[in-house]
């Protein structure tokens, strides 16, 4: 497989993705158990010692849970994070801190070019990633309250887009969360809703104007305030309102929190 993507897990309780080329293996986030990551790697024909790099988006526990474990198991991998995330990880995982490198504006791991970009989330310096290999692009956008122009500049050229669809607004508003937590999630530094994800995808399809057919993976769904059926329905309704259709204009699927997607070619 020349350029592949696999989600080991995606959701409010844990996140980890895997990107593979013929010669390079990269993990994005380690927010699930080390065993689950290693099992996921094995399903993709890879052992932990074959991992070349680990990218961390931010310091929240659902993105770094097994960083200590994977630092030991994936001993050949370089670990990268933004300056702010690196400093916060120094407080949370001090024994790993010295081994985390500060990512530059352009980074290369093996034969994959990586371009970090800023997200809008209540973390020290949260980062999304665009990964490019062989003229194909994967862009990962989760844990952001809004889509800024900088974020969209990466989205619009993606062949595969991993896009947050965290919650259904009305379910969240009527649910049991505290008022302060609801405000956090709904705010500009919170999480992207199904509705906002749908608007973003419509904007993407207008931008590319039929020049290609992107693959969109709805990710980071809340267990309490969303469901795969709800996310798919809300986004498809947004698309329908703009005369866009799954299958014709884009391929789309929902990433399930406890299930690996398997390795998919970009």
At 1 the pLDDT is 60
Q: Which CATH number does the domain housing residue 54 bear?
A: 3.60.15.10
At 101 the pLDDT is 96
Q: CA–CA separation, 120 vs 238, rounded Å? A: 23
The count of structural domains within the chain is: 1
Residue 45: which domain range?
3-265
At 218 the pLDDT is 98
At 131 the pLDDT is 98
How does pLDDT run along the chain (266 residues), one tens digit per residue? 699 999 999 998 999 999 999 999 999 999 999 999 999 999 999 999 999 999 999 999 999 999 999 999 999 999 999 999 999 999 999 999 999 999 988 899 999 999 999 999 999 999 999 999 999 999 999 999 999 999 999 999 999 999 999 999 999 999 999 999 999 999 999 999 999 999 999 999 999 999 999 999 999 999 999 999 999 999 999 999 999 999 999 999 999 888 899 999 99
Q: CA–CA separation, 153 vs 147, rounded Å? A: 10
């Amino acid at each position: 497989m020349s350029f592949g993507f696999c989600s080991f897990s995606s959701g409010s309780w844990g996140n980890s993705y895997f990107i593979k080329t013929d010669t390079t293996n990269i993990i994005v986030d380690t927010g699930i158990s080390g065993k689950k990551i290693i099992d996921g790697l094995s399903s993709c024909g890879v052992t932990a010692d074959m991992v070349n790099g680990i990218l961390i988006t931010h310091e929240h526990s659902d993105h770094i849970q097994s960083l200590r474990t994977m630092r030991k198991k994936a001993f050949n991998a370089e670990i990268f994070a933004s300056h702010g995330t690196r400093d916060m990880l120094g407080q949370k995982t001090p024994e790993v801190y010295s081994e985390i490198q500060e990512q530059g504006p352009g980074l290369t791991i093996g034969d994959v070019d990586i371009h970090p970009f800023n997200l809008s989330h209540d973390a020290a310096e949260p980062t999304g990633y665009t990964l490019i290999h062989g003229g194909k692009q994967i862009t990962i956008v989760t844990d952001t309250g809004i889509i800024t122009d900088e974020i969209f500049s990466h989205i619009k050229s993606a062949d595969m887009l991993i896009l947050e669809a965290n919650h259904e607004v009305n379910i969240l508003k009527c649910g049991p969360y505290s008022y302060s937590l609801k405000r956090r999630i709904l705010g500009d530094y919170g999480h992207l809703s199904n509705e906002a994800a749908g608007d973003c995808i419509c904007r993407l399809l207008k931008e590319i104007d039929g020049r290609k057919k992107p693959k969109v993976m709805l990710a980071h769904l809340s267990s309490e305030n969303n469901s795969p059926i709800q996310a798919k329905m809300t986004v498809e309704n947004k698309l329908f309102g703009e005369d866009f259709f799954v299958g014709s204009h884009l391929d789309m699927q929902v990433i399930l929190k406890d299930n690996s997607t398997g390795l998919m070619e970009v």
